[in-house]
Amino acid sequence: MHTKYKGHAGEIAAALLLILKGYRILARRYRTSCGEIDIIAKRGKLVIFVEVKVRRDLQKCSDAVTYRQVQRIRRASEIFLQRRRDLKECQTRYDVILMAGWQLPVHIENITL
- Of residues 83 and 4, more confidently modeled: 83
Sequence-distant (6+) residues with CB within 8 A of 10 are 52, 53, 54, 97, 99
Domain count, the chain: 1
The radius of gyration computed from the CA coordinates of the chain, to the nearest angstrom, equals 13
- Find the mean pLDDT for residues 55-83: 90
pTM of the prediction? Answer: 0.90
pLDDT digits (tens, 9 = 90+) for 89-109: 999 999 999 998 888 899 999
What is the phi/psi pair of residue 85, to 5°? -60, -25
CATH number for position 66: 3.40.1350.10
Distance CA 85, CA 81 (A): 7
pLDDT digits (tens, 9 = 90+) for 3-36: 555 667 889 999 999 999 999 999 999 999 988 9
Domain assignment of residue 26, yes or no: yes
Domain assignment of residue 17, yes or no: yes
Domain assignment of residue 113, yes or no: no
Residue 10: give the domain boundaries. Answer: 3-108
Q: How many other CB atoms are there within 10 angstroms of residue 83's CB atom?
A: 11
Sequence-distant (6+) residues with CB within 8 A of 101 are 56, 57
